[in-house]
Structure 1
Amino acid sequence: MQADLRVERELLAVGSEHLLWCLLELVAPPARPCGQRRPISVALVLDRSGSMAGRKLAVMRACARFLVERLAPADRLAIVTYDDEVELRVPLSRVEEHRGMLLAAIERIHAGGSTNLAGGYLKGLEALSHAPAGSVRRVLVCSDGLANVDATTPGASLGAAERAFRTHGITTSTIGLGPDFDEDLLTALADAGGGTAHLAESPDDAPAIFGSEFAELVSVVAEDVQVGIRPEPPVSTVEVLTDVPAVPVEGGTLVRLGAVFGEERRRLVFGLRVPVLRVVGPRRIAEVVIRAVEPFPSEERIPVVVNLVPPEEAVGPASDPTVRDEVLILSAARAGERARALADAGDLEGARRALEEAALMLERAAPGSPRAQELLEHAEFWSARAYALAEGAYDALERKRLVYRSREARLGGRRTREP
C-alpha cells in the first residue's frame, strides 16, 4: 500500500506553541485478477415489510439475483428476510452447489408486515458465523422504513456490529431506500461495522449500489488496516479530524480504517499539539505506524519531522494546500452536521447560515488549489442545501441528504454513497 504523509507547515517557529495538522493518504494497490481473489461470504438481509410491496421489492429481488449470478462457485451466500418475523431463507451456502436454490428463494420473497430490522441483522451476523476462515465477510442490510419491531434497543445491533468487525473482520454495509427509513440507525450500523452506508432515493438507484458493493467485495486487497499515531513527548495528539474509529492507547492513538479495495484512496487528518520548543533544527515529533492484513501482516513506519527555526525564518506559504484543502472539506462536513442538528431543532435560519458559511469557505479556497474542482463540488452541494432550507424545504429526504453527504466527507474516502 502506498502511503504519503504531509504536514500543514514544515517550518515551525521556536518559542511558540503550534497546532499542526497532518494528512496521511493511503492508496491501495490494484485488485488481484478474478481467479486469484479470496472467496466471499455474504449475508443478504432484505426488508420484506408491507411498505416494500410493488416496485421496491421487485427491484430488490432483481438486485439479489444480480449478486447470485455474479458470485464465483467458491463464494458463499446466505439470504435473510424480515418483516415482523425474521426468516433465514437460505443458510450460508456455496454458490457452486446451490445457485438454483438461492435464485428460487429470492423469487419466493413477498411483502409482509412490520419491520424487525434488528432481528434481521442479528440473524445475518449469525449466518456468517459459519463462514470459512480467510473469506471476505460482509452483511448487506436493506431497509425502506423505520424499525418498529424490537426497536427499543438499537444499541444491541450496534454493539454486535462493532464486535463482529473488531473480532472477526465481518463488515456491515447498509442500503436505505426512499424517504422513510431511519438514516441515523443505518449510518451508525455501517460505522460500527466498518462498512459503507448507501442512500437510494428511489428504487432505480439500487442496482448501481449492488454493483458497487459487489465490486468492493471482489477487490479487497487489505483488511483490518490500522494506523497508530505516536507523538514524541512533549508533543501530543489533539484529535483525529477524519471521522473514523480512534481510541487512545499507550503511547498515542489507534485508528481503524477497516478493509480497503483495489486502487482505493483513503485520507486521514490528525492534529498534533507542539508545545514551546527552544532548540533550532530538524526534529522528529511523531511516528505513524500503518498495519494491515493483505492477507499477510505488513507494517510501515513513517516519521513526522518538522524544522524548528527562528521566528523571522518561519515565513512562506501558510500551509501545504493539500493538507489545508482536506481540513476545509472536513470542517465543511462538520458544519453540515451542525446544520442538521439546528434544523432538527427547528432553527432553519441558523442551519442555512452554517451551510452558506461552509460553502463560502470552500469557494474562497478553490482558486489555485490542486483540488479546485472538488472544493467547488462540495461548495455547490452545501449551497444547494442552504437554498433548500431558505425555501423551508427540510423534509425527510432533505435530512437524509445532509446526513449522508456529511458522513461521506468526514470519513476521508468513498465510504458513504449517494446516487
Structure 2
Amino acid sequence: MSISYYLFLILWNSLQTCIFQNLTLKTLFLFGDGNVFIPSLDNFPVLNGIQSENATSYPLTKFPPKLNYLRNVNSFLNTITNIPVSPFLSELRIDSNNIMNQGIDYNNILKDSVGNLKLVVYSVPTAVTIPANFICDYAIDQTGLILVFGSTIMTGRNLGWTVASSNNTVVTTLVPNRKMQVTVNQVITGAPQPFSITLNAALGYVLDTTVAEAGFNVTNIKIQQYNGARALLVVTFSNLNDYFSPTAHLDNFTPDTQMINTADKTIIYPLITNLSSEDEYLGTGSIVKVSGQFGVGYTTLTVVFQEGDLPYTNCVPIVNNLTSTEFYCVLDSVPGTLDGATTTVNVTEDGFWQTFTTQIKTLQTQCNEQTNFCHGHGECNRSSVCICNINQGSYYNNCSKPYPFATSGQVNDQNTTID
C-alpha cells in the first residue's frame, strides 16, 4: 500500500506493508500490529503523535525526532520496550495492558526525558532510581516577576508539571517545565518585594524571586480637532501601584515622565505627496491620482480644486480604488486656473483637511498653446474655445482670420460691385 500527502492516517488492519510520503504525516492511528513502514517511523520528521491499540508490541524500534505522544493503550503489552524515548516526548501511555513490573529498565527508557515526560502506567509500581548526587537545576529567566492586574507569565527551566497553590498564589502550567502563569490573589504595592514559589515541597525546591505590580487603568480617552490638520489627544489613566512612574508613547514620541502630564504632538493628516494624471491637459472626466498617507477605515473623503481661496471644481473619489497610500478621483468640470499659475487642491478626510499646491495644464492651456493665445485677437475659455475680441472686428478660425468688411460702395445696374 502506497500512501502520499496524508496529515492524519488510520490503519485498521494488521500485517500491511505501508510505503509513505514521510515528510507530511503528523498523526498515525494503528489497530493491530505487524505492519511494516517504508521508510521506518523514525524517518518521519513531522510526525507528532501515534496511537496504537490491540497490539502486542511497540509500532517502532526508534522514536521519530519530533514525536510528542505515544499511546499504546487497550493492548496486550507485557513489558515496556527498552528504547530511550525522544527528548520531545511529553506523553507515554501504556495503560490497559498486561505489563508486569519485571526487568523494565526505566533508567534507560527515560534517560533523556526525566522531568519532561508525562508517564501514564496504571497499576504498575515503578522503580526509577534517582542518580547519586542528582540536583534539579531549576531557574526562571526573569530577574523578578512584574504583575499586570495580579498576573504574569513566568518562563525558565525545570519548573515542573504542576505547582501547588500557596501563599495566595495560583500557578498554572502552560508549557511543562518551561512556562507558567502566576496569579497573586492579593494587592502588591510599593517597590518589588521578596517572593517565594514552592515548586516541590517534599524535595524542598523553592524558587526565590521578587514581585511587583505594574498594571494601570485607562479611565478616559478624548480627541479634539484643531485647525483641520491638528488634534489634541488626552488619555487619562491611573496606576494600581504608585511606585512606578508611567511613560506614554505616541508614534514613537515620548513625553517627560510625570505622574500627570500632557503631551502635544502635531501630525499632518492626511498627508499629500503628489497629484498626477495620464491626461496631459485636465478637463471634465479626467482621472487624477492622489498619493500620500490617508490611513484606513475613513468614512468621508472629498477633493476640491480651488481658484484662489475659493472652491471651484470637485474631484469625485473612485470608491473601489481607495487605499491607505493612494486613490483616484474624477473631475466633474475643468479646473479654474490661469496658465502657469499654481493650483491649490484641498483633500478632506473625516473632517481633517490638508492642502497641496501644484502646477497643472487644463484644456484652456491646450487652447493657448495650439492657437498662440488665439493669435492675439481673443482669449481661450475653460472649454478650449477661442473667444475673439469683437472690438477688433470679426474673426474666425480661432481668431486667426478676419471677416471682410466694406467701407463704401456704389450700385452698378449692369454689374454689381463693391469698392
More strand by share: 2
**Fold in common (TM above 0.5):** no
Q: TM-score normalized by structure 2?
A: 0.21
More helix by share: 1
Q: TM-score normalized by structure 1?
A: 0.21
